[in-house]
Structure 1
Amino acid sequence: MLTLHHLGHSQSERIVWLCEELGVPYELKKYTRDPLTRLSPPELKALHPLGAAPLIEVDGMLLAESAAIVEFILAQYGRGRLQHGSDHPDFASYLYWFHFANGNLQPVMGRSMFVGRCGLAPDHPVQTSVQGRQDKVLALIEARLAQNDYLAGSEFTAADIMSVFSLTTMRLFHPVDLAPYPNILAYLQRIGGRPAYQRAMAKGDPDLTPMLS
């Protein structure tokens, strides 16, 4: 049995969702952020030096990093589902958007959040640079979703599971107005209609209304 250590309101929602999509049996152990620091509680830090979430345990093996966990679960339990092999015409797109999530989207959201908390003037060079990068990243996603229902193409894949947190729950920490991006908003509505996504959010973060608009 796979055990998933899940920190509420975090990237570990990806793993709950993936397990629900694949029908992988798992035990969910939930943790709550410290109300003052918003960081992991001591119980989770005791499992990993960085207090990281998500964490999974399988047969005595402990694995962190959401992208690594997604790849592990797909390899062990996926049976080819939610991913494209090298012979698929959208294989390169799948790889690009899978890694874009943690390579560009989440980092730019994080930088924008931290810089925003510094109280810089809107025209400060650092503020304008970070905002400009975020705008470019969101515009790229918007353009992609104007051409395809999902990031890797016409099919829902793990690339979507990797990306949605940054466009939804991350906005609890860093508000972003998605009104200028109608294709992203339509995409989030498609995601929100998926039964597995609904189950995952209800199990992992029952106190949170998914930010799909």
Structure 2
Amino acid sequence: MAIVVHHLNNSRSQRVLWLLEELGLDYDIVRYQRDPVTMLAPESLRRIHPLGKSPVVTDDDLVLAESGAIVDYLVDRYGNDRLAPSRGTPEYLRYNYWLHYAEGSAMPPLLLKLIFQRVGSAKAPFFVRPIARAIAAKVTESFIDPQLKLHLDYLESELGKHPWFVGESFGGADIQMSFPIEAAAAGRSPLTQRPRLTDWLNRIHARPAYRRALERGGPYDFAGD
């Protein structure tokens, strides 16, 4: 077994390091740095996967991309019945739902928020700048912020049913959900009016495996420290 995480700073790959620490697996890290201007991953990641995005994990000859697929693979292969419910159960359906929801539903409004913030602050000719800022503000106010509120309220409600996203036990769904919730907490969608999400975030940040992953991965702006 030779697991390698192609780790981009301040990215979704941090939760893959965390998962590997929770599973107690040995792994190596190949580090990549974002372009300080564009914040994009370097071209060198394309040598590992054609899309050039992180996370990418190699396990011997197998190359895996997409966070949800990576979490599902690692837990299924190496979990030994930890971090996921048994397949075929209602709990597993819920677990699988959160693996997909994190990127399919939670992340798009957060990404749109970031994009339109950049549109509003981007350099432009003086006669274009007010128009760009007005459009960005309108889209944010009328669509993005209501969507963020909708999702954060939904997550707050779901955590009112159980302490973790799949019932009474911490698992891979919580690891997968960490990035969108951390990103929301770090942006202009504070969790101060959502005590269950805040408590959940504090509990995952206190986990020893999470702290070990930070030590291995390096600076991570969303850790809340």
TM-score, L = length of structure 2: 0.85
Q: After superposing the two structures, state which structure 1 stretch, 12-21 or 99-108, moved more.
A: 99-108
Q: After superposing the two structures, state which structure 1 stretch, 161-170 or 178-187, moved more.
A: 161-170
- Counterpart CA distance in 1 for 2:85 and 2:49 is 31
Displacement of 1:151 in angstroms is 0.9
Kindly provide the amino acid, as one letter, of the partner of residue 158 in structure 1. G
Kindly provide the amino acid, as one letter, of the partner of residue 84 in structure 1. P
In structure 2, the partner of 1:146 is: 160
Q: Residue 5 of structure 2 contacts residue 29 of structure 2 at CA under 8 Å; is this kept in 1?
A: yes
Displacement of 1:125 in angstroms is 5.0
Structure 1: stretches of 5+ with no match in the other structure: none
User: Who wins on radius of gyration, i.e. which is larger?
Assistant: 2
In structure 1, the partner of 2:48 is: 47
Q: Residue 9 of structure 1 contacts residue 169 of structure 1 at CA under 8 Å; is this kept in 2?
A: no
Q: Residue 116 of structure 1 contacts residue 127 of structure 1 at CA under 8 Å; is this kept in 2?
A: no
- Counterpart CA distance in 2 for 1:58 and 1:159 is 21
In structure 2, the partner of 1:83 is: 84
Displacement of 1:60 in angstroms is 1.9
- Counterpart CA distance in 2 for 1:152 and 1:45 is 35
Question: Cα deviations across residues 118-139 of structure 1 (Å, max 9, x unaligned)?
Answer: 3244872564112111110000
Kindly provide the amino acid, as one letter, of the partner of residue 51 in structure 2. L
Question: Cα deviations across residues 96-122 of structure 1 (Å, max 9, x unaligned)?
Answer: 222211111112211222133332448
Are 1:17 and 2:18 matched, yes or no? yes
Q: 1:67 to 1:89 in 2, by over 3 A?
A: closer
Q: Residue 152 of structure 1 contacts residue 159 of structure 1 at CA under 8 Å; is this kept in 2?
A: yes
Structure 2: stretches of 5+ with no match in the other structure: 121-132
Aligned Cα RMSD in Å?
Answer: 2.1
Count residues with an aligned counterpart.
211
In structure 2, the partner of 1:192 is: 205
Q: 1:171 to 1:183 in 2, by over 3 A?
A: closer
Q: Residue 95 of structure 2 contacts residue 166 of structure 2 at CA under 8 Å; is this kept in 1?
A: yes
Kindly provide the amino acid, as one letter, of the partner of residue 196 in structure 1. A
Q: After superposing the two structures, state which structure 1 stretch, 122-131 or 29-38, moved more.
A: 122-131
- Counterpart CA distance in 2 for 1:141 and 1:170 is 12
Q: Residue 191 of structure 1 contacts residue 197 of structure 1 at CA under 8 Å; is this kept in 2?
A: yes
- Counterpart CA distance in 2 for 1:57 and 1:66 is 13
Aligned sequence identity (%): 34
